[in-house]
């Protein structure tokens, strides 16, 4: 979560919250230097690494959801492409070498202003190990997936698509939006 | 473009540029309150509205590329989904009502830290008009597309895919990365 904007990061003056000319939303505006401080959704990008009939999962060493299982993924950085971000995160979280394939799921999570993108990936070697934000890395068969201990709903949805598509013999590209748990729109698919 | 980070937007102290513990990249870090000011790529989201054999284009009233033609698109806002962003931008830029369809192109533009996402869309009525950032809105047939005056390469690539797919009778989902013009990697497709 980004810190609240109270001061102008450019000149240090206090900002005001107002709708700039020609805009429709409240922004943090600096009346001293004129800077407008936009805040926009963040991309979380990762991979679903496959090895034979197994997939690679990571058990998280950090909050949120420390101790829970996830796919290797994290915030996209400036100056990289989507597949570069997926590969970097797979290296950082699981010290794993992968060949990044097609984009597999792209899920809007509007209540936390994130978009999660997961690529299919081929694990290239069995030489993997936990990165600094990971407790444990494991290759798991479908019956070994800890469904009750998956850290994020976007990851559980991605894994459900994966096993359904594998059974059907046809891997599509899936988009969705996930609302807060308990919302009437929770989990409503976009397409 | 976001302003340079010189001061902490949370507490107003001067920041230092350093690599936080457990991180690998330089960040603007506040030594007074501990806030870390991450900067991440922005999503630009829009639509490709179709009406019979024509598509809706907008001529830009603002920089960059004022006077050039584009699809209705803009920065995704916090708390919205990707298709909601596509629909909002279509209303803002072209005052046009559309039904948003499938995601069509998703293009990384790493040198400007952006990801551009364009949805297919069905124009619902002919009641459209220029929004505040638009000079002119037009429904154009393929032979009328002003290829030399398209504002952004991601939009030109999206339109090229559209006409190729329409000719082939099969609309796929296309991902790509666009490097700076003149780069050896310029326009290299991801998939």
pLDDT, one tens digit per residue, over B119-132 is 999 999 999 999 99
What are the E-state strand segments in chain B?
16-18, 27-29, 36-37, 42-51, 54-60, 69-70, 73-75, 98-109, 114-123, 134-140, 174-177
Work out whether strand A69-70 and strand A36-37 pair parallel, antiparallel, or are unpaired: unpaired
Q: The domain spanning residue B107 has which CATH number?
A: 3.90.79.10
The predicted structure's pLDDT at residue A97: 98
pLDDT reading at B144 higher than 70:
yes
Mean pLDDT (whole number) for B111-140: 97
Q: Which band of pLDDT confidence, cut at 50, 70 and 90, is reported for residue B191?
A: very low
Q: Which band of pLDDT confidence, cut at 50, 70 and 90, is reported for residue A191?
A: very low
CB spacing of B79 vs A113 below 8 angstroms = yes
Asked whether the beta carbons of B71 and B50 are under 8 A apart, the reply is no
**DSSP conformation class of A2:** P
CB spacing of A9 vs B14 below 8 angstroms = no
Question: Among partner residues A7, A37, A82, which is closest to B108 by beta-carbon distance?
Answer: A82
Q: Do B46 and B32 fall into the same domain? A: no
Q: Do B83 and B108 fall into the same domain? A: yes
Residues 130-169 of B with CB under 8 A from A: 132-133
How distant is the alpha carbon of residue B95 from its chain centre? 18
The predicted structure's pLDDT at residue B189: 63
For chain A, give me the number of helices (H) and strands (E)?
2, 11
Q: Does A170 touch chain B (CB under 8 A)?
A: no
Q: The domain spanning residue A33 has which CATH number?
A: 2.20.70.10
Look at chain B and report how many structural domains it folds into: 2
Q: Do A175 and A98 fall into the same domain? A: yes
Evaluate if pTM is beyond 0.90. yes
Query: What's the Cα-to-Cα distance from A163 to each of A52, A102, A125, B90, rounded to whole Å?
Result: 14, 16, 22, 36
Q: What is the Cα–Cα distance from A106 to B103, expressed in whole angstroms?
A: 10
pLDDT reading at B190 higher than 60:
no
What is the extent of the structural domain holding A77?
A: 42-190
Q: Which band of pLDDT confidence, cut at 50, 70 and 90, is reported for residue A181?
A: confident
ipTM of the modeled complex: 0.94
Q: Which band of pLDDT confidence, cut at 50, 70 and 90, is reported for residue A187?
A: low
**DSSP conformation class of A7:** B
Q: Do A99 and A126 fall into the same domain? A: yes
Q: Do B54 and B93 fall into the same domain? A: yes
Q: What is the Cα–Cα distance from B46 to B118, expressed in whole angstroms?
A: 5
Q: Do B163 and B74 fall into the same domain? A: yes
How distant is the alpha carbon of residue A118 from its chain centre? 7
- % pLDDT > 90, chain B: 90
**DSSP conformation class of B113:** T
Mean pLDDT (whole number) for B105-113: 97
How many residue contacts between A and B have a Cβ separation below 8 Å? 152
Neighbours of A183 (CB within 10 A): 11
């Amino acid at each position: 979560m980004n810190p609240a904007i109270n001061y102008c990061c450019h000149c240090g003056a206090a900002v005001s919250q107002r709708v700039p000319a020609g805009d429709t939303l409240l922004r943090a505006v600096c009346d001293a230097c004129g800077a407008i401080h936009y805040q926009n959704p963040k991309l979380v990008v990762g991979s679903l690494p496959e090895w034979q009939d197994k997939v690679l999962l990571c058990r998280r060493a950090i909050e949120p959801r420390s101790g829970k299982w996830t796919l290797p993924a994290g915030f996209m950085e400036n100056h990289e492409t989507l597949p570069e971000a997926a590969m970097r995160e797979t290296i950082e979280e699981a010290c794993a070498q992968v060949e990044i394939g097609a984009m597999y799921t792209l899920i809007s999570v509007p209540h936390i202003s994130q978009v999660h993108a997961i690529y299919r990936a081929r694990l290239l070697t069995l030489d993997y190990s936990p990165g600094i934000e990971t407790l444990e890395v494991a290759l798991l068969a479908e019956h070994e997936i800890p469904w009750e201990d998956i850290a994020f709903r976007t990851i559980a949805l991605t894994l459900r698509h994966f096993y359904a598509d594998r059974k059907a013999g046809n891997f599509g590209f899936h988009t969705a939006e996930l609302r807060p748990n308990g919302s009437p729109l929770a989990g409503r698919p976009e397409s």
